[in-house]
Amino acid sequence: MKKTVVNICRLVLAVTFVLSGFVKAVDPLGTQYKIKDYLVAMHLGTMLPDMLTLGVSVLLSAVEFCLGVFLLFAIQRRLTSRLILLLMVVMTPLTLWLALANPINDCGCFGDAVVLTNWQTFLKNVVLLACAVTVVLWPKEMFRFVSESNQWIVINYSALFILGVSVWCLYYLPLFDFRPYHIGTNLREQWTRTMNGEDLPYADFFIEDIKRGEDITENVLGDSSYVFLLVSPHLEVADDSRLDLINELSEYATEHDYPFYCLTASTEQHISRWHDLTGAEYDFCLTDEVTLKTIIRSNPGLLLLHDGVIIRKWSHNDLPVIPEELKDKELSELYIGQMAEDSVPAKILWLLMWFVLPLALLSLADRMWMWTKWLRRKRKVASVDEKAEM
Assigned domain for 93 exists: yes
Assigned domain for 182 exists: no
CA distance 250 to 272: 18
Domain boundary among 143, 177, 211: 177
- 130 with 64, same domain? yes
Assigned domain for 278 exists: yes
- Helical spans, DSSP H, in the chain: 2-25, 28-41, 50-72, 77-101, 118-137, 151-171, 187-195, 217-222, 243-255, 268-278, 289-295, 344-351, 357-389
- 164 with 137, same domain? yes
Assigned domain for 209 exists: yes
- 270 with 136, same domain? no
Domain boundary among 177, 196, 220: 177
Sign of CA dihedral 233, 168, 110, 195: positive
Query: What does the pLDDT look like over 28-39, one tens digit per residue?
Result: 999 999 998 888
| Count of the separate structural domains present in the chain | 3
- 312 with 360, same domain? no
Query: What does the pLDDT look like over 133-168, one tens digit per residue?
Result: 999 999 999 988 888 889 999 999 999 999 999 999
Q: Are 62 and 166 in contact (CB under 8 A)?
A: yes
Q: Give me the tens of pLDDT residue by residue for the chain, a chain 390 residues long.
A: 899 999 999 999 999 999 999 999 999 999 999 998 888 888 776 778 888 999 999 999 999 999 999 999 999 999 999 999 999 999 999 999 988 988 887 777 877 778 888 899 999 999 999 999 999 999 999 988 888 889 999 999 999 999 999 999 999 999 999 999 999 999 999 999 999 999 999 999 999 999 888 999 999 999 999 999 999 999 999 998 899 999 999 999 999 999 999 999 999 999 999 988 888 889 999 999 999 999 999 999 999 999 999 999 999 999 999 999 999 999 999 999 999 887 788 888 988 889 999 999 998 988 888 788 767 777 776 665 566 665
Q: How far is CA 169 from CA 29, 107, 137, 289, in A?
A: 9, 21, 38, 21
- 269 with 364, same domain? no
Sign of CA dihedral 298, 304, 305, 309: negative
The CATH number linked to 217 is 3.40.30.10
**Domain containing 262: what range?**
187-337
pTM: 0.91
Q: Are 217 and 285 in contact (CB under 8 A)?
A: no
- 129 with 237, same domain? no
- 133 with 253, same domain? no
- 377 with 295, same domain? no
- 139 with 164, same domain? yes
Domain boundary among 132, 156, 177: 177
Beta 301-306 vs 309-315: how paired, if at all?
Answer: antiparallel
Q: Which amino acid is at 303?
A: L
- 145 with 244, same domain? no
- 212 with 168, same domain? no
CA distance 319 to 248: 11
- 58 with 147, same domain? yes
Assigned domain for 51 exists: yes
